[in-house]
A and B are shown apart, each in its own frame.
Chain A
Amino acid sequence: MQDYRNLAAELVSALKKQGADAADVYIVSSVGFNTTVRLGKIERLQQSISKGLGLRVIKDGAMANTFTTDFADRAVQDLARETLEIVKVSNADKSNGLAPKEMLGTYDGKLLMFDEAIGKLSPEKKIEMARTAEAAGMKIDKRITNGRGTSWNDSRTQVTLSNSDGFTGQYQTTSASLSVGLLAEDEDGTKQTDGWYTFGRYLNKLDSPTAVGEEAGRRVVRRLGGRKIKSISVPVVVDPQVASGLANIVFGAASGSRVFRRSTFLVDKVGQQVASPLITIIDDATMTDGVASRPFDGEGIRTSQVVVLEKGVLKRYLCDAYAAKRLNLKPTGNAARGYQSTPGVGSSNLYIKNGDTSPADMIKSVKSGLFLTEMFGSGMNSVTGDFSQGATGFWIENGEITHPVQEITIAGNVMKALSNVKAVGNDLNFKLGSTASPTLLISEMTVGGE
């Protein structure tokens, strides 16, 4: 992949020369491949080569940014000039600025971000893996009658950042994923779909195509025979995918950019017990084989491990440079960015720390309750923490899963739910993405049904 460090650094000095007080340039380039197979037939083969460049300028306290996908000399020079025109219409804000100089740098520990093996895979091999996975899933049960598509995706991405305080950095990452979507049909013709996937930066960290397909098959079949239930308040066992969503909500609510706007339920809560003492939430961009690890953040800050919640106590707000200045805090290395946007607060490898209860024991401990496997919809009020969402799961009676449930809602308040966590599972893993959690047991939630 072309090295863009010189282009970025030269643009920064050109912007300075033209009158910018501070500037940075962020370039993302990537190469990707996708193939989708359905019922054994190739449905799509896709290749992408993509790049984009973003400029940010601060002048007289005001900020502007521009971006382009055209890297031709003339186009980029024009854009630089125009950025300095645009900034004139923006207003001064004393919190605008680059990240503190002393925090700039590159994490020098080992981060396994780039797997040569992915680039060496032939398209034929990728198609074969997708076919194998789908076939393995279809074989699980004769009620699986159709495929929604099985996709292999891989990409190689390079991030380049240069700023006018002398920071220039670049890193490359790879990622690959395999996802299987299947359809199963009841005797009465009711159809259900579900699927499974595996995701990682290294080929050898992925689950095998057969394992992914079989798990997809098990998951779609177990949904058959789903029914509605009556509205009720019961204990809920929350599966890792849904629980990781809770970690995400807490992270968002603790974002400095929301705190200074007072648009979060965690305003003025640092140092307070906001969740069960069983809950510890960590964001760690320096995890050795983390799928979202990075040596520096979107503003060039050297990354580190950040504790968000420790034993239920809110430890800090997560900040990029702007939010940090607004709140008189230090940035936490959580500046997220794309070439089209200015920095904002975002997570890296975010997780709820492992507990010591096995998920099976949690289910056994419930007399009558819900095993929650899916929540969906936009019914999440991030200002109050109140939520009301569609859900599916399984009914638990006397410690045993009895039948799938569907067309239900789950409503409540995120912090109340996290305060009511009675047990934390020992099943944390990062195979499904950068936000992860073990299984959780919540003492009571409101389930809406018939």
Chain B
Amino acid sequence: MKRREFITKGSLALAAVAASDLWLGRAFAAEPTMTPASILDTYFRLAKADLSKVLSATLAKGAEFADLFFEYRISSNMSFEEDIVKSAQRGIVQGVGVRAVKGDQIGFAFTEDLSLPSMLEAAGAAAAIAADNVAKARVVGVSDIKVKNLYPIAELATSTELTKKLGFIKEANAAAKAHDSKIVRVSVGFNDEVKHVAYANSDGLFWEDSQPLFMFTTSCIAEDGKTRETGYKGGGGRIGMEYFNKTKAAEIGKEAARIALVNLSAQEAEAGAQTVVLGPAESAVLLHEAVGHGLEADFNYKKLSNYSGRVGQKVASDQCTVVDEGLFANMRGTINVDDEGNTPQSTTLIENGKLLGYMNDRISAKQLGVKPSGNGRRQAYNHPPMPRMTNTYLRAGKYSADEILKTVKDGIYAKGFTGGNVDITKGDFTFSCSECYKIEDGKITTPLKGVTLVGNGPDVMTKVTMVGNDLKFTDGGWTCGKNGQMVPVGMGTPTVKVSDITVGGTKVKSQGKA
């Protein structure tokens, strides 16, 4: 049994279920805007005085810090298959997570019952982590802090008429089917949610945030009489229906169909070490696995990461500058405020190959004696926060994609990915391609059957020999998993050349002895 951190996209990643605001409109007719006057009052029918009582109870046994995370999530999902709406779904999940902190020890409890007695019971359970049992009466008052507004929404998907959503769904469906007669099956999903959060902690800080999340997906099956293959394309972010002004639904459908057809003609790949050119945007899976997780500070103050104690050292080639930045408007990994009240930042993790620092939450920052970097995130009220990535990217370099390809006589061009994972201690990672080609004499040629690339983080990062000037962020719905918690993330990269990386294929190039 081993734990591995991972990333995934697609149906697994759909952050639950969402709904049309056909229902939202009904349930909250008086609340057409994204941010209601007070989330605490509207969704939880609580006053700040109640929060003070619960916080005091959480501190009662000697904890040095306590926080409360209230969540009310409205989610909806429409699935369209065989040219009809197969199902419509809507859900409401509400609850509060109560945390007591002492050093790096956490007492945590949650409840879906938001009555004061239930919350006080949860507070009592969380408080138990501070075992000294010395009652330290501490009165906690809370006052508001202002949070950013990084997800401006023109038209919240959960407030849009269902017929309008159906129009986009049908557009994608028709475009995928029309792409080729070999496309035998198409399914389209429309998923959206809005998560209303209210937060208070024993430092007296209080904030509210409404977090929209939106995903539009198409998957296709292509069949040619002999084999069947799939293609998938998704798009979205913390954005509203205006997403479709920029990206046409039909393009998403068509792209899914195109990938299915490419895979239908794919050949077996050779196993072994090869030169790999990673295409822009989605190849950032490599960064996420090879670098990102290893630089989350909890693994580092516990000395569990292969990057532990290496700040100031060279951990990648000179061309690599890696940044985590939760600030890009409407991006999937963007947050106005992290889940314990710290402001997200642009954190340069690696600069020209040199390790500058880690991503921190409140606890890890204290352990390492640094400031929190706004990376404390949690899946939901029923999990405590920990250091997580937001939007992670590799800065653009100086080469054009063409210049990079031309240097490769014989190699692999990896363009699309289904996911990856990493063993953070050893640094060994795996990532899997959904679209990948041979490179012959500097040109992209035959498609290859979904190959897996494996390597070791710092080792591969030193083998990055060329970085492109075409930095691009993914539009896809990537979801990152760590210790059983899933959070939405964004990422980006320009075209990158790695001089050698192990490729998992079904053909053996040259029989070797171990």
Contacts and interface: CB of A to CB of B under 8 A. Distances in A.
B315 to A, nearest CB: 15
Interface stretch (A45-53, A244-252, A420-428): A45-53
Contacts of B109: 46-48
Contacts of B271: 231, 409, 411, 446-449
A51 B112 CA distance: 7
Contacts of B246: none
Given A52-B93, A261-B185, A449-B272, A86 B23 contact: yes
Chain B contact residues, majority secondary structure: strand
Contact of A86 (B22, B110, B230, B451): B22
B322 interface: no
Interface stretch (B150-158, B339-347, B416-424, B439-447): B416-424
B91 A89 contact: no
B313 to A, nearest CB: 13
* Residue with the highest number of chain B CB atoms closer than 10 Å, among A68, A79, A196, A383: A383
Nearest to A389: B452
Interface in A71-98: 75, 78-79, 82, 85-87, 89-93
Contacts of B113: 49
Given A45-B108, A410-B504, A195 B230 contact: no
A413 to B, nearest CB: 8
Contact of B273 (A65, A68, A450): A450
B125 A412 contact: no
A148 interface: yes
Interface string B475-512: 00000000000000000000000000011111111111
B86 interface: yes
A67 interface: yes
Nearest to A403: B514
A409 B112 contact: no
A407 B454 contact: yes
Contacts of A381: 229-230, 449-450
- Which size bracket describes the interface of A in this complex? 35 or more
A231 B512 contact: yes
Contacts, number: 295
Interface in B75-98: 78, 84-95
Given A388-B452, A406-B428, A232 B504 contact: no
B129 A45 contact: yes
B1 A48 contact: no
B505 A448 contact: yes
A390 interface: yes
Given A52-B93, A82-B90, A195-B2, A232 B454 contact: no
A262 B223 contact: yes
A384 B511 CA distance: 26
Contacts of A228: 502
Contacts of A412: 506
B281 to A, nearest CB: 18
Nearest to B483: A149
A263 B228 contact: yes
Given A82-B23, A448-B503, A148 B452 contact: no
Closest 7 CB pairs of A and B: A409-B504, A230-B512, A390-B430, A448-B271, A378-B419, A91-B84, A377-B430
Interface of A: 38, 41-52, 62-70, 75, 78-79, 82, 85-87, 89-93, 123, 146, 148, 179, 181, 183, 190-197, 228-233, 241, 261-263, 265, 267, 340-342, 368, 374, 376-379, 381, 383-384, 386, 388-390, 392, 395, 397, 405-413, 432, 446-450
